[in-house]
Structure formats: C-alpha cells, structure tokens
A and B are shown apart, each in its own frame.
Chain A
C-alpha cells in the first residue's frame, strides 16, 4: 500500500559521507569522546568495551575448557581453576551479557527509532558509561588482588569466609549495577517522554517494547543486587552475622536475596535479544510481524513474571517444600510468553520472502538455539528431574544455550543488521555467513554434549572428574576452539568492512523503522529534515534501487536532507 508521499521527505537515500559530517568525524580528540553527550558515541564506546569484556570472558572460558581436556590437572591448579570459572562467569554476566544489547545497541538505536535527537537524560547516559568502565576496572583488579574462587554466585557461607578479593569483585558488581540502573532509567523516561506525535505505544517498533520491558526489570531488580552485595561486604568486613549460622544467621537467605535479582537478570539478558529477533524476522521475511500486540504484551508479561520464579534456583538449597512447589508451578508459566514469541516469529516467516542476510542467519540460529535452551528449562522447572540435574553440566548447557545461543547470537545478529547504520560500511555477506555457520556448529559441538554429560551425572565447577566423562569434555573443548575460530571470523568480517567495506546506503535491508531514515552513519543530531512515520512493519512503501544498492522509498525522489 502506498505510504502517502510528501514532497519534503528526505529519503531517496544515499550515504552522505562527502561532507564528512557524521557523528564519528564531526568532532575529534579524546575529550570529545570521553565527555560526549551523543548517544551514538556513547553507544559505540560501550560496544567496544563490551566486546572487549566478551573477549576477556572468552579467554577465561577457553582456559577452563582446556583444563578440562584431561580428568586431572592439565594446565592449572584446582584453586586457579576455581578462580578461572568464577572470573569467566562474573565477567560474562556482569560485563558482557547484562549490559550488552541495551548499552551497546540500545543506546545507539533507541533514540533513532523514536526519531529523537538523543535520549532523555544524556548526562546520565555518559555517567552510566563511566560507571561501567570503573566497575570493569575494579573487576579486573580483583584478579590482580588474588582472584575470587566462589563462583559468580558468591554463595554464603563460603563467600564470607574464603580468602581472596571477594570485597573488590562484589563492589565492582555494585558499581556495575548502577550502570545498569541508569541505562534502564534512561530508557524508561525516553520511551515515555520522547516519542514523536503519532507514535502511540502500539505504533512503536517491538525493539522498543523489548528495551522498555528490560528497563523495568533493570530498575526494579538491580537495587536488590546492590543491597545483597552490600550485606555480603558487611558480613565479610564487619561480621554482621546475618548469613552466618554460627551467629544465628541464615545462609539460604543470601540465596533469596541473590536470586531475587539474578533471575530477573536473565530476562534483562534475553528480552532485548528477543526484540532484535522480532525486528529482523519481519524485515528479512519482508512481511509484517505476526501478532504485534501479542509480542508486545508478552514482553511486559515476561518482565513481571520474571520476579515470581527466583526460587527455582534454590530447589535443593534447603528451601521449604512449600516455596519449592510454588516456584516450580510459576516457572512453568513463565515459559508461556516466550513461547508466544517463538510461534509469532515462525508465523511471520511462513510464506514470507526470506533473505538470508547475515543478520537473518543469526536470527534463525537464535530461534533454534533458544528453543533448545528454553525447552531444557522445563526439565529444570520440574522438581523430580531438577533434583538430579541441579549443579550438573545440564544446567551449564541450559544457560549457555539460552544466554549464549540466545543473547550472544542475537547480539551478533543486531550488530550485523545495524552495522551499516553505525559505521556506514557494508561487509562481505558471504564471509559473514561463514562466520555464522562456524559459530553455530562450534556452539553446538561445545554445549550439546554437555546436556548428555550432565544427565549422566557430571557435576559443574569440578576440576577433576571420572575418566568416563573424558570423551565428552574433549568434544566440548574441541567445539569451543571451533566456536572461537567462528567468532574471530565474525569479528574479522566486521573489522575488514571498516577498512575496505563498500559505503553503505541509507537503507540496505529495506526496513521501515525510523532509524533507517537517518544517514549511514547518522549526522551528529541524527536527522536533518522531516521524517515520514509509517507502520514499522509495512514494507510496501520501499523498493530496491539498483544504483543505490539499497532500498528507497517509493514516490520520494528528493535528495536526503541529511546530506
């Protein structure tokens, strides 16, 4: 259908680099970056920091996997092994996966999707970045101060009594928590106050619903993490005693406190990922998203339900039977909104015109891998099976399928999808897809066998293991090396594009959301001229332009006002 032309629309679309007037080169010098208020600059600084953290966490992971090649000591002592998996978990959780999509992609995309000039509170945004960096430094410092061997979950009483830099790393978590809170706060306020006239709640792209729901969780749950680590620090440094049985305290209480945040936290991780998939599946099927309202409501439902199920991490911790049964039942219900999304994505693709751009390849991988991760969650929600599977490799595989096969894959999908907008460059689709396939195969090789190991009884976090598990560990480790190769290829493709990639058109993928009406890359204040607001999933107004090698809007032939 015609999207109603106007003659003042700026959207014939070609990159506008010729004045050098985009957000990257409009100002130079390190101060213009460190003290910027531009959400786009903040976004890509976050992207760099987060990818570096991912690299660090990945190195720890490879070291852990390498140690596990043989049943006994391979390359490190048992104590070092404990520190290594603790670091891997803490860095990946707090420095990569939780901030990941909202901070690195959300910061860049959200205002653009709203047709706005910036987020509502740009100084808070910058503060959030600085705080992240401080927290990251503190976390790395803890390595130098002796490391931590408690596991990323810091369970008492071990965490209150062990030697090591527990206080430093938990204070890093405290600091990083505020970075997360400020990002969430900013997104809530921006979505409420900076929507353009005509974009009611149900005309927003689903990515924004996802980021909004994530922000609700960030704001409600993270403060409880803050108080949890404060209490842990008080327990360690002052001997308050509320988690110490010898002083009348309750160690399981720590777990209640910890998981009240950490379960909703996994939805902080997955909701933005699902938002990305909702966008990509529609665009690359050239078909309006199926069940828009269902997906929007399911995002809010997930945000709320996520607070009701934390006890499923504590089924065998000493929690009462009553609470255990209640949490098990509620956990089953939280899978429903996620399933709603998966079915809607599949329905969107049905009879769509699928384009296997790299972003879509990752999106398809997401649906498959998250599907497995989510379904295996049902085994863990079921009390009878969880008793056997808890603290085994089954759990490890479950959360890697959901967090890595889910969020990380979606993060890559989003990076590949929005890369032309972020940096104004196109990449080799062929090599991008090769990287995606390597990642997919490597990932499954690493983690699928862990489901089997876990079901056979291999416990998690163990340095030594009986010889019958050796073959599984070796397959898993080999898979991890392949996964690493795939990730390097994926990174290499993008880096290469920065050096030698073709200049990106304004709308290479034919999307209908507002960020694709900004130049690639955008100018400093995002837009320079009127925008046309349409249904975000109505692609009928776009056509492929051979000269552009990108999509342009029908009936709008004028020069982009942003040039």
Chain B
C-alpha cells in the first residue's frame, strides 16, 4: 500500500478489501467500528467515575481535604496540554484529508510531544506523592502528612481559599456522617492556617483519607495507560505519514487515531475538575 502511495504522491489510495463494495463503505465501516470501541472505553472509565461518585457522595470530607494535596496548577497545565494536543490532532486529520504531508507530519509530531509533556508532568506529580507517602490503602503515610504537611517543595502551597472551604464545610456538615468529621470541622479556626502551612495535627486529617488516593491513582493510572497507547498509535501514524502513506484518498488511519486521542482528552476533561478542583 505504501508503494502505491509513494507512486501517487499525496493522492495515496487505500486498498478496498474484497468484502466491501466501495471505499466509502469501508471507511464508514471502520469509523463506526471505532466509535463502538469508544463506547466501550466510556463504559469502562464510567465504572471508575461511579466509584468516585459514591465515595465522594458518602465521604465528602475526604475529598474536600485530599484535593488540597494535589497541585491544581500542574493539573491545569496538563489540561491545556491535552486540549492543545487535541487541537493539533484534529488539525492533522484535516491536513491528511487535504494531502498536506509536511504539515501532517509536523502536527502529528507536536501531538506526540504533547503526550510526552503530559506524561512528564504526571511523573512529577506521582513522584511528589510517592515522596510524601500520599498513596493508596495501607501505604498512605499519615505520619508524614502530620509532620510535613504534604506540601510541594519545602512549604505547602497553601490553597488559601481552602481554609474558607473547610470553615464552610464545618458549618454545612455540623451533623455530618461521622461524628469525627463534625468534630474535625468544628475545631478548625484560624489556627488551622498555621497547621496547614507547617503540618497537620492528627485530628485534622479525615479518616480513610487514603481512599481518595486509591481512586486518584487508579483513575489517572488507567488514563495514563491510555495516553501511552495513544502515543504509540500516533507514533505509528507519524511513521506512516513520513513515508507518505496518507493523502486525499487515504486518511482513514489518521482519522481513527484522532478519534482515539480525543477520547483520551475527553476523559481528562472530566478527571481534572473532579480530582483537582473539588470545592
């Protein structure tokens, strides 16, 4: 197929399989197939969003508290990176359709770089959590949280308005689900500002805080696996694009790869506010 593509330049034609009638039928069939596959991906991540929803609804104090230990800025940067990569990916599909080979190669390369960027930032975040014992299950280091405050760098990046939130929470959850929760919230006063900056008193930390991190790591982890898979796909498309496989009659693979990458972006669009921007 690539030989034909090289011979016909940008007008590379795709081979139509014998059980298809026309190139259009083949293209539409593959596209529908990929959309159904995306449906399965949505259902799979959906299960994780269900776990999230249940724990957040039943134990809001855990989520209110834990998200202060995530870096909102890194999360936002990652969001922008993925959105930009979605833009370049969509553009690359356009470029493939128009036979703009050089542009296509460039755009796919940028998209791939964005993927690396995303993973790099995630690696920084994961590393930070590992350092501070902010992990899942029994690995969660409550002691470290008390001593060091779980901050980024040497001092905790204080989420200033988070204190207001915690105060607000105290009022809202006066009769909260857990007696401890109520106490925790009610005891916070302006001294909490100091506590947040330099470490946490044991009674401030909601019980089972690690549940948040279990969910955080499984959700972002599975998402990360999909990012890697998408990057491998884009790498393969990039190689084929350099070879000149794609053109105005042969762009299906880029189109389908694009759809998959957009799904990865879609999942993050929901993950970001739900994990990083809990209010």
Contacts and interface: CB of A to CB of B under 8 A. Distances in A.
Direct contact of A and B (CB under 8 A): yes
Interface of A: 116-118, 120-122, 124, 181, 185-186, 188-189, 192-194, 219-224, 226-228, 230-231, 234, 238-242, 244, 247-250, 253, 256-257, 260, 525
Given A224-B43, A242-B51, A116 B19 contact: yes
A219 B39 contact: yes
Contacts of B137: 238-241, 244, 247
Contacts of A188: 32, 36
Interface string B13-44: 00001110000010011101100110111111
Contacts of B33: 120-121, 124, 185-186, 189
Contacts of B17: 122
Contacts of A189: 29, 32-33, 36
B40 A181 contact: yes
B59 interface: yes
B212 to A, nearest CB: 10
Contact of B211 (A118, A222, A249, A256): A249
Contact of B51 (A231, A244, A248): A231
A525 B138 CA distance: 59
A224 B136 contact: no
A516 to B, nearest CB: 20
Contact of A185 (B28, B36, B51, B222): B36
Contact of B43 (A122, A124, A220, A231): A220
Nearest to B215: A242
Contact of B54 (A181, A227, A250): A250
11 contacts: A117-B19, A185-B36, A193-B29, A194-B29, A219-B40, A224-B46, A227-B47, A231-B51, A234-B218, A239-B136, A240-B218
A247 B138 contact: yes
A241 B43 contact: no
Nearest to B62: A248
B29 A120 contact: yes
Contacts of A219: 36, 39-40, 43
A253 B54 CA distance: 9
A391 B37 CA distance: 36
A186 B32 CA distance: 10
Contact of A231 (B25, B59, B207, B218): B218
A186 B30 CA distance: 10
Given A227-B48, A241-B210, A248-B210, 6 more contacts: A117-B19, A121-B30, A189-B29, A223-B41, A223-B43, A257-B50
B47 to A, nearest CB: 4
B235 interface: no
B214 interface: yes
B239 interface: no
B47 A193 contact: no
Main secondary structure of the interface of B (DSSP, over half): helix
A228 B218 CA distance: 12
A241 B136 contact: yes
Contacts of A231: 47, 51, 218
Contacts of B54: 250, 253
A248 B59 contact: yes
A123 to B, nearest CB: 10
Nearest to A184: B36
B139 interface: yes
Interface in B201-248: 207-208, 210-211, 214-215, 217-218, 222
B50 to A, nearest CB: 8
A525 B136 contact: no
Given A124-B33, A223-B47, A248-B59, A242 B18 contact: no
Contact of A122 (B19, B32, B215, B217): B19
B61 to A, nearest CB: 12
Contacts of A120: 29, 33
A231 B18 CA distance: 42
A233 to B, nearest CB: 11
B40 A193 contact: no
B138 A239 contact: yes
A241 B136 CA distance: 8
A257 B47 CA distance: 7
Contacts of B29: 120-121, 189, 193-194
A122 B33 CA distance: 12
A240 B214 contact: yes
A193 B50 CA distance: 34
Given A219-B36, A242-B214, A226 B44 contact: yes
Contacts of A228: 47
A253 B51 contact: yes
Closest 9 CB pairs of A and B: A248-B208, A227-B47, A239-B137, A223-B44, A223-B43, A117-B19, A240-B214, A241-B137, A118-B19
A427 B138 CA distance: 63
A223 B40 contact: yes
Of A185, A194, A227, A247, most B-chain CB atoms within 10 Å:
A227
Nearest to A253: B54
Contacts of B45: 227
A247 B136 CA distance: 10
Contacts of B214: 240-242
A134 to B, nearest CB: 19
A116 B17 CA distance: 13
B54 to A, nearest CB: 6
B56 to A, nearest CB: 12
Contacts of A226: 44
B55 interface: yes
Contacts of B41: 223
B47 A192 contact: no
Nearest to B36: A185
The residue in A120, A122, A226 that gathers the most chain B C-beta atoms within 10 A of its C-beta is A120
Contacts of B32: 188-189, 192-193
Given A120-B33, A525-B18, A241 B47 contact: no
B207 to A, nearest CB: 7
Nearest to A260: B47
Nearest to B39: A219
B211 A224 contact: no
A227 B19 contact: no
Interface string B111-147: 0000000000000000000000000111100000000
Given A118-B19, A193-B25, A240 B136 contact: yes
A419 B25 CA distance: 32
Contacts of A249: 211
Contacts of B43: 219-221, 223-224
